[in-house]
Amino acid sequence: MHGLINSAIKSFICATYGRGRWRRVAELAGIDPGNFEAMLHHDEEHGRRILSVLCEDLGRGQAELLEDLGTFLVSHPRMAALRRLLRFGGESYVDFLYSLDELAGRARLAVPDLRLPALELWDCGEGRYTLICHPGLDGYGSVMTGLLRAMADDYGALVVLDHEMPDQGQEVIRISLVEPAFAEGRDFALGARGA
């Protein structure tokens, strides 16, 4: 597993639950808490153990926790660079949705050895969309659900999301765009100061 993914999990735990909980979870998972290098690959089992221990420690389900991680990736100030990258997908939430087909490729442009599963958006008409999360990263659909929800808030759109668990390795997220301009979205400008 790419170190960026493990580093994101670590940042999420530290920012949301505190560094003490991170150290405890890493220790219970049998992992050195300071040993995640963002640009290196790590044993995939490390991330799984951390999530498993955290879920048990918090008494929460993994899908729910990963959805929170997806929200964190967009909404936390430390993750402003990712939010900005995603906002380059377009001026509206619908533009952003259509840009998701290219997300894995854009991630490879930024980090050549980062392999994210392919995403495929289907327009079902009348403001309804289906996002197919192809296999390749356990829990990716849950993370994407949180990310989609946070990006809707970022754009000021009102959406209803329904995440369906894997079917033949694919996760499906049904998106209903209730109101594209429900609230004022967060400011976004091409220059760093507007972020």
- 102 and 168 fall within a common domain: yes
Helix (H) or strand (E) holding 110: helix 103-110
Domain-embedded: residue 65 = no
- Domains in the chain: how many in total? 2
Report how far apart, in Å, the C-alpha atoms of 79 and of each of 75, 144, 175 are: 7, 15, 24
Same domain, 120 and 153: yes
Kindly state whether residues 158 and 115 are assigned to the same domain: yes
74, part of any domain:
no
Q: Are 165 and 63 in contact (CB under 8 A)?
A: yes
Residues 56, 91 share a domain = no
Residues 23 and 94 in one domain: no
Q: Are residues 34 and 129 in the same domain?
A: no
pLDDT tens, position by position, 66-75: 999 999 999 9
CA torsion through residues 59, 75, 152, 8, sign? negative
Do 148 and 87 belong to one domain?
yes
Q: Is 31 helix (H, G, I), strand (E, B) or coil?
A: coil
User: What global pTM score does this model have?
Assistant: 0.86
Range of the domain at 13: 3-60
CATH number (domain holding residue 176): 3.90.1520.10
Q: What is the pLDDT of residues 26-74, one digit of tens each?
A: 999 888 877 666 555 556 677 888 899 999 999 999 999 999 999 999 9
37 torsion bin: left (phi>0), alpha (psi -120 to 50), beta (else): beta
- Whether residues 109 and 54 share a domain: the answer is no
Please report whether residue 181 resides in a domain.
yes
The helix (run of H) or strand (run of E) holding residue 53 is helix 44-58
In this prediction, the residues of the chain whose per-residue pLDDT falls under 50 are 1, 194-195
Specify whether 54 is located in the same domain as 86: no
Tokens matching residue 58:
């918090």
